[in-house]
Chains A and B, each alone.
Chain A
């Protein structure tokens, strides 16, 4: 593979040497999920500003990495997300209504409102639970992939993390264990140039993240992270390699946050002027749309129809999610252990009694 894999040119024309062999339906599904994530992010940021959800972390500009990566894996493969992978969770079948209930922390959230927004879980889709700590998932993902190998299962793992996470001990641990045991895993680094405000040059003196793979005994590749086909191609090939017993691969996707780190962040404090404009020229949605138009697989009418359909779908989901009640107080004391121990029973009963008495007073 070349130094930086780029497939979709600025005009939408593909580099045919690397263009993946995807059907019209697959390409439409890929683009639809990227668009869904974009529309969802914009609506949720607006909901956050209205005070209807408490916090939000959008993936604006990173849809190609999120959806392109997940799209390249098979249904039996596991996904360890960072916290901007709503597109991947939805691709794996998580209902939009349930995801928005998680953002709202209400009773329809499978995790009962226990975590702040953007920490969704979807077991049915082999989509892992999310921690706000960025490193640990890398080592866990290596363990899951290693377990699949021990069991002789044809299962691989995709783990997402950012450039900041490559500075943690967990990156070293996960990469090292995966290399030593030949675990079937794809490490997908979403290098969006900043860990909140700290630029990539302060994470490492190395020229790239990809180059680090060599030290662990396997290959690292760099791709244009704004180019969904490039991400897809690299992750797909890495997944195939894992399936064939070739062990781990590191894929570094160069991308950019077109929005803030979160609803609490102001990127104008730390990003140089003009940088956003430069990266916006390769907005992943625009690129993918240009490619589809170039191939004669898309039309302005279809774009209009898609936009309307997604907005309507999101509106319905918001309405349904907002109808759910708050989690019951009892849920505070559930799911600690398979069997609730006496101390938690005591604390639950005391709390319920206190709340009953306060209400009566």
Chain B
């Protein structure tokens, strides 16, 4: 099996599905000749010259026309170059794509997968760093998927493109080239709506997605040195959420720390905390702790202070262990 970065795994998924299904089209800013600013679509235009489109610089136009394509029966995979740029298309995603099946009583559907890199750690400042997943998790009718490694990136992307519903597929750009994995060359998929326990432990449950999942794995290693046995869960699909995987783990450990990059208030980690408080409070042996970004815009110079790291997560573990 070839060793791939997440960028290569995304590229492999797109190529695989475009070969398999001629309804799949890729469109966005710089995705054609340039292969995308992160090179996720590199070479696709050579193999599929009539199904890969460099578009005008217009996020609303990219998503709006993609919805029109999906209504017609294509399987568009639009790219929003940075998730920070998605908001001109917010109405199209929230009011149109997400509501189409419901408002038409199932007559019309929008099988569209919006790919977009998100998150900090690349010195991108306010507008190349945000983690906006909570805005979209708050939207009935939309699915939100976040891989944390190359194998899942390919498998989840293949499952997303084949899914009959609109999906926001958020790629943690900090992990695009952070490490390689053996990624199967051919066709496989990772089911949506299933979290994964990536490290087993008995003392405390760490829940995270995207780059924060890697941070939690590092934190678990550091916590081990302090004598704490930490379980780590990679959420993978935020909507629909695999509540059972999280609840099963918390029932075992009795402690929960949720880590997310986004501003704390209204973040999706708060939703996970609420679910656990509602459905497993009798198992809890300490407070639920959130380790998150701050309620500020994402900073440039002090990026490392803003972003949760393994030490901050370990402090969260300490807080709940010491309770």
Contacts and interface: CB of A to CB of B under 8 A. Distances in A.
Contacts of A324: none
B95 interface: yes
A144 B112 CA distance: 13
A128 B108 contact: yes
Contact of B240 (A136, A176, A341): A341
Contacts of A170: 60, 64
A326 interface: no
Q: Which 10 A-B pairs have the closest CB atoms?
A: A143-B68, A139-B64, A143-B65, A341-B240, A123-B107, A173-B61, A111-B105, A144-B68, A147-B72, A129-B104
Interface residues of B, number: 48
Interface string A122-135: 11000011110101
A134 B46 CA distance: 38
B157 interface: no
A81 to B, nearest CB: 12
Interface in B100-127: 100-109
Among B50, B66, B71, B108, max chain A CB count under 10 A is at B71
B95 A136 contact: yes
Interface stretch (B13-21, B51-59, B225-233): B51-59
B61 A140 contact: no
Given A131-B95, A139-B65, A174-B64, A121 B58 contact: no
B105 A176 contact: no
Interface stretch (A13-21, A234-242, A282-290, A331-339): A331-339
B164 interface: yes
A139 B58 CA distance: 11
B236 to A, nearest CB: 14
Nearest to B143: A337
Contact of A142 (B68, B102, B164): B68
A122 to B, nearest CB: 8
B193 interface: yes
A145 interface: yes
A123 B108 contact: yes
Contacts of A177: 55-56, 58, 61, 64-65
Contacts of B99: 131
B65 A136 contact: no
Contacts of B141: 336-337
Given A131-B103, A140-B65, A343-B240, 10 more contacts: A114-B102, A121-B105, A133-B91, A139-B92, A140-B92, A150-B50, A176-B61, A177-B61, A180-B56, A335-B102
Contact of A147 (B60, B68, B102, B103): B68
11 contacts: A121-B105, A121-B107, A131-B95, A136-B91, A139-B64, A144-B71, A147-B73, A147-B74, A173-B58, A176-B56, A338-B163
A246 interface: no
B161 interface: no
Contact of B69 (A115, A144, A336, A341): A144
Contacts of B297: none
A128 B103 contact: no
A136 B61 CA distance: 9
B266 interface: no
A129 B68 CA distance: 12
Contact of A140 (B58, B67, B241, B243): B67
A143 B66 contact: yes
A136 B100 CA distance: 12
B240 A342 contact: yes
B87 to A, nearest CB: 12
A357 B51 CA distance: 55
Range class of the A interface residue count: 35 or more
B67 A129 contact: no
Nearest to B53: A181
Given A336-B101, A338-B165, A343-B240, A129 B108 contact: yes
Nearest to B64: A139
Given A110-B107, A112-B105, A335-B105, A136 B71 contact: no
B285 to A, nearest CB: 26
B96 interface: yes
B18 to A, nearest CB: 13
Contacts of A180: 55-56
A194 interface: no
Given A146-B68, A336-B141, A139 B107 contact: no
A155 to B, nearest CB: 8
A264 B259 CA distance: 49
A335 B72 contact: no
Nearest to A178: B65
A169 interface: yes
A293 interface: no
A338 B243 contact: no
Nearest to A121: B104
Contacts of A128: 71, 108
B71 A140 contact: yes
A101 to B, nearest CB: 11
B235 to A, nearest CB: 14
B25 interface: yes
Contact of B101 (A138, A142, A174, A337): A337
Nearest to A140: B68
A338 B164 contact: yes
A141 interface: yes
Contacts of B140: 336
Among B68, B76, B193, max chain A CB count under 10 A is at B68
B64 A143 contact: yes
A338 B53 CA distance: 28
A94 B96 CA distance: 22
Contacts of A110: 104-105, 107
